[in-house]
Structure 1
């Protein structure tokens, strides 16, 4: 910055000299001074940009090294008559190739059943769901959909067979219908079925399909936004529905209602990550997976896990204590 001021001051002195000597007009000097600022400002920022470039270069080199270790086989397989069965064998995953976020998981999600995944913060729940959705491919072990390895299945086939409701739900500043269909042409019967199964009937009856949701859904409640995301996923008619803490931002009563609506969906394998350990909802899952430090440490029904008095029992008890009125 000091260099910039010194240079600009020098320009003024020299310009004054040339005007006094008659070699330049005052108008020419003003143009010259104005143009010089466009040159001097970028130069003055070099002191800040150069250290940032050096830091960015080291990050890029690290990323290139990481990417060079990832083997991405050609995805040529297509899911045909996918049943919704997912098998994990010694599944391990690391974001940085050093620390494992998922460690040696062996488990089978059977078709059309409902599963709840619970665990403390950082236990690997969301990472596991991203692996099941096909978002992360540089894993070790096996992750198969009806005996086809996930790494070998083309992305379009995964997308059309697996629906993923993530924590952050984006709502367009458009109609309820457009937000459900994502501006695609959908048969009325299919749209009606998605509205019915997601519990959106009341909202549609009251406000109509053409009701404008507002910027990022600011004209809707948290529960209504959640139901739109469920209806959106149901339109795909995929065989697997993944929900990542989808009801975390809404009240307990609405949360239970939405979980019940999800569990009532037929012909779909449903896998839900939740941190709301509500007995009424947890009892409805066919099986609950308990995660800790990237591992599945316990599985069973709500009743079985409570009787075992192990990890799930203590997690449930601590959550109950936090939710109790003080």
Structure 2
């Protein structure tokens, strides 16, 4: 009973979630439903008119000149409407899927930082494309196909009862047998589908990780080892795929066999009914057409039942990542960012999942309108400290204050407008230099020009073009130039707190000097707090405020 309740709750949650994300695209729904309904009505008319046409053809005194063009016209009209329905359905499906993908992507970007950096490309790909596609397809079938198919089921049943009660009863005996088959195979298909997806995801994850570790694989001469390991994984995956295919095929063959036997039985019963005068040839033909529509409706109900489990599996996998959002926008009465005095670390303790403790009862005060150089060897906590201030991670114990406000109490939007973090491997979008710098910043053209001059980017713009559509992923930029663009992107937002993690890493001496000068000048002009985490001795001259984490 408890398991059944959990299933109902998951379905309810799924429906509520899908419905809440249909805003702005609901306008397509009435048109899709109306077109689907018109197609069903046309199908009924075709069956009825075809019945009369056959009966009239067998009677010389009956005129069929009107019925033949009517049937042809209905088929043509059905084809035209079907084309329009397909296009509209495709637009609705794509827009719906994009909406879900958008909210999923946004939730990922606000997910717990430690969790986010642990994700592989395949983890995100499967949930964003495979799982979301399954969720959207199923929900559209649930809200569009099922109501229409139910009406088809009712209408067809009424007509069949009127034409031949015996054949109608035989048809529902067939449905009962098919239902038994569906429930026999349902759990087996579900179980094997889940195992197949797990193997598929694990396989893609392994291949993706090996591609990222290609330098290690080649240096240790592990190419053959990895290839053989992948071959074994492929073999296990395909064995599972064959198993699922064989079960699904057996299920479909049995359903098809029962349907064929039913057609033979109907033919025999129908012929007997014709000879006894209880049924006309036209009526038998009409029943044959209606049986196709009825089978389609029944199969849709079966498919909804069969696909329910796989859809809920996809939804659960989706929620596993979607519910990881840690945005403080959900706080009760979040405070607005203000910074007048200092950042205070009070008895901070932070440990990683591997058990390594980076900070224990750590205390530190960083004053406004200053530049601080945070030094220390690898593993001393420089990057951890910068991530704590940037609010990517939170301490296990202790508190961080900005002036007298808890860092965690400040609203996400307000915090991000005033605190900027730049890491040692800056992100460049596949856009122009101009777009990479400004993104969504508010600025004037004179401010942009000043930033270009401050970061000494004029030569880069002269070389590559300010608005070049080629994009920057194509290469041609040195690491120093990339760092300057990243710094310019931070400067143009005029942050009150700027955190720079290894800003001179991987750059030459001349570029390092340019970066140091830009940092000093920006701080002088804007009176920001700039926190530089680095062990680069070239940065010793940037500030007299040096914090050595080796002595913490």
TM-score if structure 1 supplies the norm length?
A: 0.63
SS of residue matched to 1:87: strand
1:205 shift after superposition: 4.5
Inter-partner Cα distance in structure 2 for 1:140 and 1:99:
15
Give the gaps of 5 or more residues in structure 2: 1-192, 197-234, 242-319
Query: What does the per-residue CA deviation read over 1:14-70, in whole Å, with 9 as the maximum and x for residues that have no partner?
Result: xxxxxxxxxxxxxxxxxxxxxxxx999756148xxxxxxxxxxxxxxxxx9xx9xx9
1:116 to 1:129, Cα distance in 2 relative to 1, 3 A? same
1:134 to 1:99, Cα distance in 2 relative to 1, 3 A? same
The one of 537, 540, 543 aligned to 1:285 = 543
1:188 shift after superposition: 1.2
The one of 395, 398, 423 aligned to 1:141 = 398
Higher helix share: 2
Residue 237 (1) aligns with residue 237 (2): no
Give the gaps of 5 or more residues in structure 1: 1-37, 47-63, 298-326
Residue 116 (1) aligns with residue 373 (2): yes
SS of residue matched to 1:106: strand
Query: What does the per-residue CA deviation read over 1:163-210, in whole Å, with 9 as the maximum and x for residues that have no partner?
Result: 111122121222110110126674212322322332223333554412
On the 8 A contact 2:432/2:472 being kept in 1, the answer is no
SS of residue matched to 1:77: coil
1:129 to 1:79, Cα distance in 2 relative to 1, 3 A? same
Alignment RMSD (CA, Å): 3.3
- What corresponds to 1:271 in structure 2? 531
1:248 shift after superposition: 0.5
Inter-partner Cα distance in structure 2 for 1:139 and 1:268:
28
1:251 shift after superposition: 1.0
1:185 to 1:157, Cα distance in 2 relative to 1, 3 A? closer
Query: What does the per-residue CA deviation read over 1:61-116, in whole Å, with 9 as the maximum and x for residues that have no partner?
Result: xxx9xx9xx9x993643334423721111111122284322222211111110111
User: What is the count of residue pairs matched by the alignment?
Assistant: 235
- What corresponds to 1:220 in structure 2? 477
Inter-partner Cα distance in structure 1 for 2:542 and 2:472:
35
The one of 439, 442, 449 aligned to 1:192 = 449
Query: What does the per-residue CA deviation read over 1:192-237, in whole Å, with 9 as the maximum and x for residues that have no partner?
Result: 2322332223333554412457443612111111011011111221
1:99 to 1:206, Cα distance in 2 relative to 1, 3 A? closer
The one of 239, 242, 254 aligned to 1:44 = 239
The one of 91, 94, 105 aligned to 2:362 = 105
1:144 to 1:206, Cα distance in 2 relative to 1, 3 A? same
> Rg larger in 1 or in 2?
2
1:159 shift after superposition: 0.9
- Written as runs of structure 1 = structure 2, the 5 A alignment for 1:170-189 is 170-182=427-439, 186-189=443-446
Inter-partner Cα distance in structure 1 for 2:451 and 2:361:
37
1:159 to 1:203, Cα distance in 2 relative to 1, 3 A? same
Give runs of ≥4 in structure 1 deviating > 6 Å.
38-41
1:121 to 1:80, Cα distance in 2 relative to 1, 3 A? closer
Higher strand share: 1
Inter-partner Cα distance in structure 2 for 1:162 and 1:187:
20
- Written as runs of structure 1 = structure 2, the 5 A alignment for 1:67-78 is 74=331, 76-78=333-335
Query: What does the per-residue CA deviation read over 1:239-273, in whole Å, with 9 as the maximum and x for residues that have no partner?
Result: 01111112101112321221221122131111111
The one of 323, 334, 342 aligned to 1:85 = 342
SS of residue matched to 2:549: strand
Inter-partner Cα distance in structure 2 for 1:200 and 1:186:
17
TM-score if structure 2 supplies the norm length?
A: 0.39
Inter-partner Cα distance in structure 1 for 2:476 and 2:342:
38
1:284 shift after superposition: 3.0
